[in-house]
Amino acid sequence: MSASIVVGAQWGDEGKGKLVDVLASKADLVVRFQGGANAGHTLVVNGVKTILHLIPSGILHPNTLCMITSGVVLDVFGVLDEIEKLKAQGLMKKAENFLISDNCSLLMPYHKILDVARESHLNKEKIGTTGKGIGPAYEDRTSRRGLIFSDLFQPATLKEKLERALQEKNVLFEKIYGQKAFETTELVEKLLQAAEKLAPHRCQDTSHLILKAIKGGKKVLFEGAQGTLLDIHHGTYPYVTSSPTISSSALTSTGIGPQNIKQVIGVFKAYATRVGSGPFPTELLDTTGEFLRSVGKEFGSTTGRPRRCGWLDLVALKYAIRLNGITSLAMMKLDVLSGLDRLQICTGYKINGTVVTEWPSTLNELEGAEPVLTELPGWKEDLTKINQLNELPRPVNQYLDFISDFVKTPIDVISVGPGREQTLWVKPLFNT
């Protein structure tokens, strides 16, 4: 049995894509289980950058099967674009290397329009969504009005369901958002053309296939998108995404039982970032924040927006470890901290004059939380060329030890640059 789940332990963009790409050299199967094209996962191989939104980050490995399961909202035209881009790079040579579950939700152009229209009608309550239609697509799934992948292959059903899905939305578009009603004829036509192209990727029972792989001793990796603090149930609601992002989501989305999971790897940055609105207790609105943004190239891979930057927050990390059952941590972007004289780490929050060390349960408390910071020495050395753990400068080890001692979880992987080779292993993961 060898299934592992990779999740983001902060607010997304932790470097999950890089880690999954590195681990996928040993994986037989990589499965994307939630989110949609709001994700932007950047992989850098031999200096060449690939940004993936929907296709799992195992796709650069020709012998790894990649799969999208039920919990994902699939942008039909977006995924086709991604496939074409990969093919143009000489990748994804065999269609059967990328499978889509018949049961996964379809994200339609009208979901994106609704997402953008809603955000533009909000003032200070804006979520700062990616505008990729994620909220509206999940709403349709939950309200049982959504279309699923198998509908693409049944023209009559497709048309009928589309008309039903648009009934209410067209009223919203016309009466509230001052937009034209959505016409189905042209959309059905385009969807049927897309269906022809996507047919070779169709998979009727991904749950069965995944379980067979696990039972057959194959290595299976579940790739999370977004991050724990953006989880619809446990994140900084309502400033969250619309899907469950934590490890248990991998089970619900794929239809796999919990006994099949061997480890949960939590990916986190050596500092913290967030895109969009919502509380961020350790945010730095000063030159150190600017330093992290410019050295860390903290601009969104999906929207290009500047990411908010701040110190590493161990209260939040402890919370993420608890929610996900994280067994190993992977620390990314440690190289970015080189050059700072002193580092700060958040170990508690002062809320209404009282210091707490557990994640607060209300948004109000979180918004009023003042970080309690511990100072540690920084380092000047460039870490990007280091390929042995014993070459890490002393203050780096001090930083790493402080974190793993505080959160009582081992840091098993350390990333010191975007490239595959810039990865240091404290303990080999995903080997057996």
Site for ligand GDP in 271-310 (CB under 6 A): 301
How many residues are present in the chain? 432
Position among 136, 146, 276, 310 found at the interface with ligand IMO (CB under 6 A): 276
Question: How far apart (Å, rounded) are the C-alpha atoms in residues 331 and 126?
Answer: 31
Could you tell me the two tokens for 160? Answer: 């009928």
Site for ligand IMO in 134-173 (CB under 6 A): 134-135
Could you tell me the two tokens for 225? Answer: 């998108």
Nearer to ligand IMO, 272 or 403 (CB): 272
> Which among 41, 61, 111, 234 is annotated as catalytic?
41
3-state secondary structure of 274: strand
Question: How far apart (Å, rounded) are the C-alpha atoms in residues 10 and 235?
Answer: 10
Question: How far apart (Å, rounded) are the C-alpha atoms in residues 309 and 270?
Answer: 11
Among this protein's residues, is 41 annotated catalytic? yes
Among this protein's residues, is 208 annotated catalytic? no
3-state secondary structure of 309: strand
Would you count residue 333 as binding ligand GDP (CB under 6 A)?
Answer: yes
Nearer to ligand GDP, 94 or 305 (CB): 305
Q: Between 22 and 51, how does the x/- string for binding to ligand GDP read (CB under 6 A)?
A: -----------------xxxx-x-------
Least Cα distance to 421 among 6, 7, 16, 18 occurs for 18
Q: Between 41 and 60, how does the x/- string for binding to ligand IMO read (CB under 6 A)?
A: x-------------------
| Site size toward ligand IMO, by CB under 6 A | 23
Residue least distant from ligand IMO (Cβ): 276
3-state secondary structure of 64: coil
Nearer to ligand GDP, 153 or 291 (CB): 291
Question: How far apart (Å, rounded) are the C-alpha atoms in residues 368 and 393?
Answer: 36
CB of 270 to ligand GDP, least distance (A): 8
Least Cα distance to 266 among 221, 346, 331 occurs for 331
Could you tell me the two tokens for 110? Answer: 């009208």
Residue type, 366: L
Question: How far apart (Å, rounded) are the C-alpha atoms in residues 376 and 117?
Answer: 46
User: What residue has token string 């000489």?
Assistant: 90
Question: How far apart (Å, rounded) are the C-alpha atoms in residues 82 and 203?
Answer: 19
Window of 75-83, 98-106, 220-228, 316-324 that interacts with ligand IMO by CB under 6 A: 220-228
189: which residues sit within 8 A by CB, 6+ positions away? none
Would you count residue 347 as binding ligand IMO (CB under 6 A)?
Answer: no
Position among 69, 97, 129, 415 found at the interface with ligand IMO (CB under 6 A): 129
Helix ranges (DSSP H) in 172-205: 184-198
Nearer to Mg ion, 78 or 146 (CB): 78
Q: Between 22 and 41, how does the x/- string for binding to ligand IMO read (CB under 6 A)?
A: ----------------xxxx
Would you count residue 275 as binding ligand IMO (CB under 6 A)?
Answer: yes
User: Could you please report the per-residue DSSP string of 70-82?
Assistant: TTBEEEHHHHHHH
Phi, then psi, of 125 in degrees rounded to 5: -90, 5
User: Could you say which of ligand IMO, Mg ion, ligand GDP, none residue 136 binds, taking C-beta under 5 to 8 angstroms by partner kind?
Assistant: none
CB of 335 to Mg ion, least distance (A): 18
User: Could you say which of ligand GDP, Mg ion, ligand IMO, none residue 407 binds, taking C-beta under 5 to 8 angstroms by partner kind?
Assistant: none
Residue type, 332: M
Site for Mg ion in 10-69 (CB under 5 A): 13, 40
CB of 357 to ligand IMO, least distance (A): 26
Nearer to Mg ion, 13 or 335 (CB): 13
What is the binding site for ligand IMO (CB under 6 A)?
Answer: 8, 11-13, 38-41, 127-130, 132, 134-135, 225-227, 230, 241-242, 275-276
Binding site for Mg ion (CB under 5 A): 13, 40
Residues with a catalytic annotation lie at 13, 41
